[in-house]
Amino acid sequence: MKSEIIGFIGLGIMGKPMAMNLIKAGYELVVYNRSESPINELVKLGAEKGSSPEDVAQKSDIIITMLPDSPDVEEVILGKNGVLKGAKKGAIIIDMSSIAPFVSRKIAKEASEYGVEMLDAPVSGGETGAIEGTLAIMVGGKKEIFDRCYNLLKVMGRSVKRVGEIGAGNFTKLANQIIVSLNIVAVSEAFILGTKAGLNPQDIYDVIKDGLAGSRVLETKAPLIFERNFKPGFKIKLQKKDIDNAVLTAKDLKVPVPFTSLIQQVLAALVNQGKDELDHSAIIRFFESLAGFEVKKEGLKFNNDFLKKIK
Nearest to 194 by CA among 226, 230, 224, 217: 226
Separation in Å, CA 203 to CA 223, 245, 299: 12, 37, 9
Beta bridge partners of 160: 137
Is the CB of residue 46 less than 8 Å from the CB of residue 93? no
Among residues 173, 235, 240, 275, the one annotated as catalytic is 173
What radius of gyration, in Å, describes the C-alpha atoms of the chain?
21
173 carries an active-site annotation = yes
Catalytic positions, written as ranges: 173
